[in-house]
Structure 1
Amino acid sequence: MDGGQSPRPQQHHRMPEREGNNNHDIEGMDGAAEGDWWQNSSSNALLRYDDRGSICEPLMRKRTINTTSQIAIVGANICPIESLDYEVVENNLFKQDWRSRKKKHIFQYIIMKWTLVLLIGLLTGLVGFFNNLAVENIAGLKLLITSDLMLKERYFTAFLAYGGSNLVLAAAAAAICAYIAPAAAGSGIPEVKAYLNGVDAYSILAPSTLFVKIFGSILGVSAGFVLGKEGPMVHTGACIANLLGQGGSRKYHLTCNWLRYFKNDRDRRDLITCGCAAGVAAAFRAPVGGVLFALEEAASWWRSALLWRAFFTTAVVAVVLRTLIEFCRSGKCGLFGQGGLIMFDLSSTVATYSSPDLLAIILLGIIGGIFGGLFNFLLDKILRIYSIINE
């Protein structure tokens, strides 16, 4: 060699062994000088060697193969979802912390737990009463105007009045849901179930969601949609419990430091479970049914101590609704409102049915059963085709 330098002995180097990959032989390694870059054909990486022919880290890759699902990445960017930790690690540090607390702190914690479920029952009962009262008055006023026009034989005007009022109510419900709180769409029961099972989706229990859920359900039911107030009431009760548990809303500067005891996932979950039971109790006026719904359908995390608080919450809801409905029976709640579910009052007349009426009812039931079965059949086929296409 020129300059009296002896040629570098040929060596065969191997890349360090990595997890999940075999050792890769390096091609064209012979005669590599210090700082030279060589390409590994198997990994498509640029490798740099020092004066001894060893690989210098880090490696600069020309192309990175992303094995993460792009759909998952896009979905995460659109709707970030966090998980909740309901497990309490009862280690020595946890037990020592509880032993170090004074009796008055423990007493305050117990009193606050029962005070909060009392407030959840009161507020959920008031909201349920307000929903029923508003729906009864809006729907009753709409039907009163329509029937008055029909009695005057102004049928086309009656049709326009009825259809136009429904259109306005439906458009208002859709607008506030689309522009204020999209998380309030639907019944809200799947979202509450998801939260109680450890999935914290964005804004499902926010104050804006509570506002839209209350007024959206009123407008939607009053518009004549085929829906009810039961699902929204479950979501409403959960939102009320969440706001009380976290001491208000930081976004709107409505927070209370004295609720610091409940700013953890497990206590908030217990309160939302009570709120869920209160929502069912307010919708059906069924305290036991509300507790059973929360126990069997909504929550997968349950403690025996929570059962008493849930029963107490639904009992408060029942008392509130009963008191307000008795108050409205004196005619002080509008033309039609009694604060309960809409019922047809047949106490002043005798209901009689003839044979043609019964035949029409039977025929209607048969037609409804056929179309219902056809709907379920087509829905199952469409979902199967959709899953095959997406695979």
Structure 2
Amino acid sequence: EWDRWLLMGLIGTAVGILGFLIHQIIDSLIKLKWDLVENYLQVSKRSNLYLSTGQDGNIHMTWLCALGFGLAMVVLSSGSALLICPAGSPCGLPEIIGYLNGTSIRHLFNIKTFLGTFVSCVLAVASGLFCGPEGPMIHLGALLGCGLSQLQSDTLGIHLPIFTRFRNSADKRGFITAGAGAGIASVFRAPIGGLLFTLEEVSSFWDIRLAWQTFFCCLMATFTMDLLSSSLCGFVYRGHFGFFEAEKRILFWNLLDMNILAFIPTILLGMLGGLLGALFVSLNIKINKLRMRFFNSIPKLSLRKTSKLQMRTTTYYIFTLLMFCISPHLLLCVAAAALLIENGKQGIAYLFKRGTHEEFGYASLCTALAFYFILSCWTAGSAVASGLVIPMLYTGALYGRIIGLILVSIFGVQTNEYGAWIDPGLFAAIGAASFFSGVSRLTISLTVIMVSILS
């Protein structure tokens, strides 16, 4: 069995490297986009361009600049999904689940599907659409599990004469399962969460041996991701190879003394997460039925629809920022800007931050919640390779923080041990878990993933 364990380790390492590349490219593209916007605003200031309100900069040209950059990425992303890898659109996770439970899908593990999904995912997330890389990472992990275990490709004409004993349906599905688990583990740095996710959501055929091998694969993916991230940031070497900075990974440092009264808003958040999750799924099903009826049959119309979605998203970014900006020409904004201008992952970290009772107001939170809920529901299922985990966590964190802010408004900022549980950051984390569970119907693996995110 040494060769099976070796392959599991190789698959996990490959998935970790791939996850690192995806996150680095996304962060680099996001930084490039907003650097270009900021540079344009600074040029506008030097050219003495003014808004009608008397503020520096030109918000309309800023909108066009951000929109053009985002539209270019969306068109390329949608084109990659529609024209190169239709099997990978929108995220590939349902297809992976179907395959592992006995359904055969053509071109699902094709090299073209891998490349198209990779490109589409990176560009879709970096463009500013309300989506994340989690679903495509599961698909890409499964693709690596299939490719590295079979070591053959009809498209490339490659048939290596090694590990031939694994070229059967049962072993192939086992490696695909491990690759899918490694994909989710690399995203959240949660090897146990990746194992439980595949057990709870992905595959129906398990044994103890496969469980241990999948866990080893997830562990290697997480370790590789952390190791590379420890020394490289934006593909720039920082000189700290192998040094894991806890401050960047642990959001909840101190243990919190709980009060039985905290269970009242927690139960409320659970019910709210179930109701909003059901509403989200219902709306998304109706939107996708409409989309399939009128758009998906013609690739050009799908591209046009996704482009319109990007226009709405960019308009929301720019003009909502304008409403809350202190200095629009530098995009130095208060709470709403902190939530919107960063990518979803960074915004979630802001919402989860404890000890920031009054950092985000009702106006910014409610505005972000309304638009994020609607646009993420509209984005899910569009013609780009994208995931839903980041939007689910973000949406839940927004209404969870609103509940926490209501408690702060009623009881005030509590500094004593008895009232320390009244913290909007804490309820943001609970709200994120509730909405995630309400949409995905996950319980055990979700709990482990949330613990991995927070500690």
Partner Cα separation in structure 2 for residue 136 and residue 188 of structure 1: 23
Q: Residue 370 of structure 1: CA displacement?
A: 9.5
Within 5 Å, which residues of 2 pair with 1:22-41? none
SS of structure 2 residue aligned to 1:257: coil
Change (3 A) 1:364 1:178: closer
| 2:206 aligned residue (302, 307, 312) | 302
Within 5 Å, which residues of 2 pair with 1:366-385? 367=370
Change (3 A) 1:363 1:244: closer
Aligned partner of 1:37 in structure 2 is none
Does residue 129 of the first structure (1) align with residue 20 of the second (2)?
A: yes
Aligned partner of 1:36 in structure 2 is none
Amino acid at match of 1:314: C
SS of structure 1 residue aligned to 2:163: helix
Aligned partner of 1:173 in structure 2 is 77
Q: Residue 157 of structure 1: CA displacement?
A: 2.9
Aligned partner of 1:158 in structure 2 is 62
Do the aligned partners of 2:142 and 2:176 also contact (CA within 8 Å) in 1? yes
Within 5 Å, which residues of 2 pair with 1:1-391? 110-151=1-42, 152=45, 153-328=57-232, 332=236, 342-343=345-346, 354=358, 357-361=360-364, 363-364=366-367, 367=370
Q: Aligned pair count?
A: 259
Q: Which runs of 5+ in 1 are unaligned?
A: 1-109, 376-391
Amino acid at match of 1:273: T
Q: For residues 326-384 of structure 1, what are the alpha-carbon distances to aligned partners after superposition, in whole Å with 9 as ceiling and x for unaligned?
A: 111597169xxx999853698xxx996658x4332564488579979x99xxxxxxxxx
Q: Which of the pair has more CA radius of gyration?
A: 1
Q: For residues 269-315 of structure 1, what are the alpha-carbon distances to aligned partners after superposition, in whole Å with 9 as ceiling and x for unaligned?
A: 11001001001011111111100010010000011111110110011
Q: Greater shift after overlay, 130-139 or 170-179?
A: 170-179
Higher RCO (C-alpha 8 Å, min separation 6): 2
Amino acid at match of 2:346: M
Change (3 A) 1:326 1:168: same
Do the aligned partners of 1:125 and 1:318 also contact (CA within 8 Å) in 2? yes
Do the aligned partners of 2:28 and 2:234 also contact (CA within 8 Å) in 1? no
Do the aligned partners of 1:133 and 1:333 also contact (CA within 8 Å) in 2? no
Partner Cα separation in structure 2 for residue 125 and residue 370 of structure 1: 30
Amino acid at match of 1:360: A
Change (3 A) 1:275 1:139: same
Change (3 A) 1:168 1:331: closer
Do the aligned partners of 2:110 and 2:155 also contact (CA within 8 Å) in 1? no
Partner Cα separation in structure 1 for residue 234 and residue 86 of structure 2: 39
